């Protein structure tokens, strides 16, 4: 009798843990912006601003949440990673200061700009990733 009681409790615990582990969870979107120059090289150190533009969402409604307005600098691979909590349509603006030497070996800085509009969505899923990959070209 005692053996059946322990067996029943063990089975119920295994079922409860399995159901809890398989449940779907809200996954905030992660936006990964890859910044490249017009002719292909990556743009490390570019400033990437992702924000819900003036006409984001429903007409006449602006999202005023600092969590949805973020600025990140690209890493050595030219990637900027943003983590958001909500679904949104975002404007992505990029400014890249390209430094190089001219023909007389004088240092020159060009300012290159890029823009893109992206849509990200919060989803309910069992996997751990909710990533959106976008490439922005600066000119």
- Please check whether residue 96 lies inside any domain of the structure: yes
The burial class, CB within 10 Å (0-12 / 13-18 / 19+), for 58 is: exposed
As for how many domains the chain has, the answer is 1
The listed range with the strongest mean pLDDT (15-29, 45-59, 90-104) is: 90-104
pLDDT of residue 58: 53
Range of the domain at 33: 27-138
- Please check whether residue 34 lies inside any domain of the structure: yes
- Please check whether residue 13 lies inside any domain of the structure: no
Rounded Cα distance, 111 and 109, in Å: 7
The string of pLDDT tens digits covering residues 82-91 is: 999 888 899 9
Rounded Cα distance, 120 and 28, in Å: 9
Return the CATH number at 46. 2.60.40.10
- Please check whether residue 36 lies inside any domain of the structure: yes
- Please check whether residue 18 lies inside any domain of the structure: no
| 112 neighbors 96 (Cβ within 8 angstroms) | yes
- Please check whether residue 57 lies inside any domain of the structure: yes
Going by C-beta distance under 8 Å and a sequence separation of 6 or more, which residues neighbour residue 25? 124, 125, 126
pLDDT of residue 96: 97
């Amino acid at each position: 009798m005692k053996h059946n009681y322990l067996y029943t409790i063990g089975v119920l615990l295994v079922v409860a843990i399995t159901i809890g582990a398989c449940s779907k969870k809200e996954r905030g979107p992660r936006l990964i912006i890859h910044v490249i120059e017009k002719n292909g090289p990556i743009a490390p150190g570019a400033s990437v601003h992702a924000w819900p533009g003036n006409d984001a969402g429903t007409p006449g409604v602006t999202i005023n949440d600092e969590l949805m307005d973020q600025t990140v600098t690209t890493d050595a691979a030219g990637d900027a990673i943003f983590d958001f909590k909500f679904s949104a349509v975002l404007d992505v603006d990029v400014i890249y200061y390209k430094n190089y030497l001219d023909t007389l070996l004088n240092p020159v800085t060009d300012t290159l700009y890029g823009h893109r509009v992206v849509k990200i969505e919060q989803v309910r899923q069992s996997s751990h990733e909710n990533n959106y990959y976008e490439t922005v070209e600066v000119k």
